[in-house]
């Protein structure tokens, strides 16, 4: 539903001189500071960038014809629509608008708690705010409320409620396109968490388009920051969709922007994403270079989880380069770091990587044990992409153990998981690997059918 607004009068028709001073006094009475006291002339002057003398003259009625720019500054300061200066608003509407400052204060408290990961406290703080929102309050206030609440719900794992809440934020029309872009980015993150990568891609693409269309002004730094988030997200998603070269292009664009902002943590995250895309293309040296940049930054931050993440990715790169001893040592360090950080996802990933290492050195019993342990954790975490990857690895272990019946069942299970969650690139990869196995077993007809399905999917991915 679009936000209702009062009609705006033309700039050349200012409010009636006799009524302006009275309405200014109404603002002072009904829209006080958070402590309930009226704003002083000095506070209004500082908040509106008007001179104290001019504010005093407006309040006393000695200056009767303020410009539209002055009216906008006053309206922004008090959190009311400019139309208040033109229309005789009923008392009920004025009482509704008077809650604006309280809502802003609650939002500020909620955002502090959100940054600290106190999601339940955020939902408690904002529980009553949606009922207090008035249609004449600024659209940005509505959007911020729903977005902060949506982020908190996402943090609590209430994904459906978070999705509905964030979509509600998008229903409000705002003159600031960056507000819409920020909400689209949150929706993109939410869909990525749900492993709905196509939906996430659509949201990130819409966000980037909205940011690119936004006028450059005093929000230049915010514009750069949001654009950086969009490019980073698109890079991650392109990789998940089996497009590593496109992912590298997005990461490179983002790295160009990050230097303008000086965000060292974001730079390290980008190098992590870049390394994974380079690994997909079997460029081990380039992947290790990117990971070295990331690991150096994470160590300076003294963040155990991030250091462990970088060590894990380094180990995977070393595995592809057949440097097995170094890979095993790094995986043990990574597992210790993730355990210390209580990172269940990281631990499960380490177990799967240890399974890959054991498979590579032909320790098949240990490979199956690590993989099964990883699979159990991913099932508990409800992560279909990782569940499918574990099943695919277990199928390959069964092939090497010459247990063809188990291999067939497990390949079919992996492909089914990927298909159910529309993970097309994973389906195509699994079909190709399964085809190679059937080919090696002399089952040429079955292998060719699998190859054709894989080729069709790879072609569709390339065209999209």
* Per-residue pLDDT tens digits for 275-329: 999 999 999 999 999 999 999 999 998 889 999 999 999 999 999 999 999 999 9
Q: Which of 66, 291, 126, 462 is nearest to 24 (CA)?
A: 66
Tokens of 159: 């994904």
Q: Which of 260, 240, 263 is nearest to 250 (CA)?
A: 240
CA distance 188 to 166: 10
Q: How confident is the model at residue 94 (pLDDT cuts 50, 70, 90)?
A: low
CA distance 1 to 31: 27
Does pLDDT of 156 surpass 90? no
- The secondary structure of residue 363, as a DSSP letter, is -
CA distance 113 to 455: 49
Residues 310, 294: contact at Cβ < 8 Å? Answer: yes
Task: Give CA separation, 166 vs 159, 172, 237, in Å.
Answer: 10, 11, 20
Length of the chain (residues): 464
CA distance 36 to 277: 55
Residues 289, 273: contact at Cβ < 8 Å? Answer: no
How much is the pLDDT for 14?
47
The residues, ordered by sequence, that sit 6+ positions from 191 with a Cβ below 8 Å of its Cβ are 163, 197, 199, 200, 203
Q: What is the pLDDT of residues 219-268, one digit of tens each?
A: 788 899 999 999 999 999 999 888 999 999 999 999 999 988 888 899 99
How much is the pLDDT for 100?
67
Q: Which of 54-68, 94-108, 162-176 has the lowest mean pLDDT?
A: 94-108
Q: Which of 7-16, 20-29, 214-223 has the lowest mean pLDDT?
A: 7-16
| DSSP letter for each residue of 203-226 | HHHHHHHHHHHSPPSTTHHHHHHH
- The secondary structure of residue 40, as a DSSP letter, is P
Q: How confident is the model at residue 87 (pLDDT cuts 50, 70, 90)?
A: low
Averaged pLDDT for residues 375-379: 97
Q: How confident is the model at residue 137 (pLDDT cuts 50, 70, 90)?
A: low
Does pLDDT of 397 surpass 90? yes
Averaged pLDDT for residues 57-66: 82
Name which residue leads in pLDDT, 422 or 1: 422
Q: Which of 13-22, 150-159, 377-386 has the lowest mean pLDDT?
A: 13-22
3-class DSSP state of 263: coil
Q: What is the pLDDT of residues 267-278, one digit of tens each?
A: 999 999 999 999
- Domain annotation for the chain: domains and CATH numbers: 17-98 (1.10.260.40), 383-464 (1.25.40.10)
- The secondary structure of residue 201, as a DSSP letter, is H
Torsion angle of C-alpha atoms 391, 392, 394, 396, degrees rounded to 10: 160
CA triplet 249, 189, 241: central angle to 5 degrees? Answer: 45
CA triplet 241, 246, 249: central angle to 5 degrees? Answer: 140
Averaged pLDDT for residues 63-67: 80
Tokens of 6: 């009062």
Q: What is the pLDDT of residues 117-135, one digit of tens each?
A: 888 888 887 877 777 776 6
Does pLDDT of 11 surpass 60? no
Does pLDDT of 172 surpass 70? yes
Averaged pLDDT for residues 421-428: 88
How much is the pLDDT for 291?
95
Tokens of 422: 């529309």
How much is the pLDDT for 97?
62
Name which residue leads in pLDDT, 19 or 214: 214
CA triplet 49, 52, 53: central angle to 5 degrees? Answer: 125
How much is the pLDDT for 15?
47
Q: Which of 99-108, 158-167, 191-200, 205-214 has the lowest mean pLDDT?
A: 99-108
Tokens of 290: 């990117």
3-class DSSP state of 416: helix
Task: Give CA separation, 399 vs 177, 396, 402, in Å.
Answer: 54, 5, 5
Q: pTM for this structure? A: 0.68
Helices (H), 241-303: 244-261, 264-280, 284-301
Number of CB atoms found within 10 A of residue 423's CB: 24
How much is the pLDDT for 6?
40
Does pLDDT of 344 surpass 80? yes
Instruction: Name the percent of the chain lying above pLDDT 90.
Output: 52
Name which residue leads in pLDDT, 365 or 66: 365
CA distance 170 to 175: 13
Q: Which of 67-71, 177-181, 411-415 has the lowest mean pLDDT?
A: 67-71
């Amino acid at each position: 539903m679009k936000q209702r607004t009062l009609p705006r009068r033309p700039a050349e028709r200012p409010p009636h001189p006799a009524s302006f001073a009275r309405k200014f006094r109404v603002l002072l009475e009904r829209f006080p500071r958070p402590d309930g006291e009226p704003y002083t002339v000095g506070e209004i002057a500082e908040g509106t960038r008007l001179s104290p003398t001019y504010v005093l003259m407006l309040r006393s009625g000695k200056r009767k014809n303020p410009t539209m720019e002055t009216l906008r500054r006053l309206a922004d300061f008090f959190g009311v629509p400019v139309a208040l200066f033109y229309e005789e608003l009923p008392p009920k509407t004025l009482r509704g608008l008077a809650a604006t400052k309280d809502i802003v204060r609650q939002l500020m408290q909620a955002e502090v708690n959100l940054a600290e990961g106190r999601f339940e406290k955020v939902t408690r703080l904002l529980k009553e705010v949606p009922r207090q929102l008035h249609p004449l309050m600024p659209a940005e206030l509505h959007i911020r409320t729903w977005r902060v609440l949506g982020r908190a719900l996402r943090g609590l794992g209430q994904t459906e409620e978070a999705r509905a809440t964030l979509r509600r934020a998008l229903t409000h029309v705002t003159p600031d396109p960056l507000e819409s872009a920020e909400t689209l980015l949150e929706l993109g993150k939410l869909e990525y968490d749900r492993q709905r990568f196509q939906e996430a891609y659509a949201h990130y693409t819409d966000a980037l388009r909205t940011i690119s269309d936004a006028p450059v002004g005093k929000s230049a730094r915010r514009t750069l920051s949001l654009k950086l988030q969009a490019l980073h997200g698109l890079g991650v998603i392109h990789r998940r969709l089996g497009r590593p070269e496109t992912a590298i292009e997005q990461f490179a664009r983002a790295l160009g922007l990050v230097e303008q902002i000086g965000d060292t943590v974001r730079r390290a995250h980008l190098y992590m994403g870049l390394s994974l895309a380079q690994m997909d293309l079997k460029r081990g040296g380039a992947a290790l270079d990117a990971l070295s940049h990331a690991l150096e930054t994470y160590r300076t931050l003294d963040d155990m989880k991030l250091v462990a993440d970088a060590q894990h990715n380094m180990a995977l790169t070393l595995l592809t380069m057949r440097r097995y001893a170094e890979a095993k040592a790094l995986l043990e360090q990574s597992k210790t770091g993730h355990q210390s950080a209580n990172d269940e996802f990281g631990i499960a990933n380490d177990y799967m990587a240890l399974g890959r290492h054991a498979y590579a050195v032909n320790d098949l019993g240990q490979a199956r044990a690590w993989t099964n342990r990883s699979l159990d954790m991913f099932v508990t975490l409800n992560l279909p992409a990782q569940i499918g990857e574990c099943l695919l690895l277990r199928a390959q272990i069964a092939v090497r153990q010459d247990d063809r019946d188990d291999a067939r069942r497990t390949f079919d299970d992996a492909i089914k998981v990927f298909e159910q969650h529309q993970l097309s690139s994973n389906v195509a990869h699994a079909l190709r690997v399964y085809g190679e196995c059937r080919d090696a077993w002399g089952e040429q007809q079955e292998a060719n059918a699998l190859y054709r399905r894989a080729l069709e999917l790879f072609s569709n991915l390339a065209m999209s």
